[in-house]
Amino acid sequence: MQRLYKAMMMVSMLLILMLAAQQGVFEHVTDSHWVAQFIAKHGSYALMMLLLAGALFTAVGGPRQIIAFVSGFALGGVYGGFFSTFAALLGCVLAFYVARLTIRSSLQRRFARRLHTFEALILHKTWLKVLMIRLLPIGNNLLTNLCAGATHVPVRGFLLGSFLGYLPQMFIFSFAGAGIGLSDHYQLGISIGLFILSSVIGAYLYRSRLGKQVDELENS
């Protein structure tokens, strides 16, 4: 029964991805002008659809920075930043649970050593260590989500750390998109300022003890 459930879930996910690709969802969701026009025409319905499309895009490994840029272009720096962050977080949830509910055993067999190292690192103080992983310029968003889902990492801490870690970079790209879309040098300036601040924080974390542990995980 459990195998049937996993198989049905996998088939459902594949069908959704095929349908999304066939309808050009991923192409549209990365087109700033199309997104802006879609929101202007359909309002709240468009926002709901774009949130789901952005989540699916990031869940399969699409760069969340693109969603942030496009959202900023269409919604402005602040609203675009929060909107794209929630889309990325929802994509994180999707990838996490696909790994935990369907392919967990397969991942554990194939990547046992790496998963053990990952779990040992973030099992305690999960939110803080995941926050560092998201802030530091290392790793891969999709792989991090899948690794977390394949281990016993607590969901709440993982999602909290991911949300907080996503925020800086999403706002950087959102304000950049807003600055270009509105020809607003002020919003571009905010984006540059946030980038500098994020880089300073990232450099500080990278040199810390936890930063070295995270770096060892990346090189393991």
| pLDDT score of 215 more than 70 | no
Q: What percent of the chain has pLDDT over 70?
A: 75
For the segment 180-195, the average pLDDT, to the nearest whole number, is 70
Whether 11 shows a pLDDT value over 90: the answer reads no
Res. 193 pLDDT band, cuts 50 70 90: confident
| pLDDT in the model for residue 50 | 93
CA distances from 51 to 24, 35, 167 (A): 15, 11, 16
* Residue 173 in this model has a pLDDT that exceeds 70: yes
Half-sphere exposure of 159 (CA within 13 A, CB side): 14
pLDDT band at 218 (very low <50, low <70, confident <90, very high): low
pLDDT of residue 9: 58
Residue 144 has pLDDT above 80, yes or no: yes
Average pLDDT rounded to a whole number, residues 199-206? 70
Average pLDDT over residues 2-30: 62
Across 198-212, b (16+ Cβ under 10 Å) vs e yields: beeebeebbeeebbe
51 has pLDDT over 70: yes
* Per-residue confidence (pLDDT) for residue 73, from 0 to 100: 92
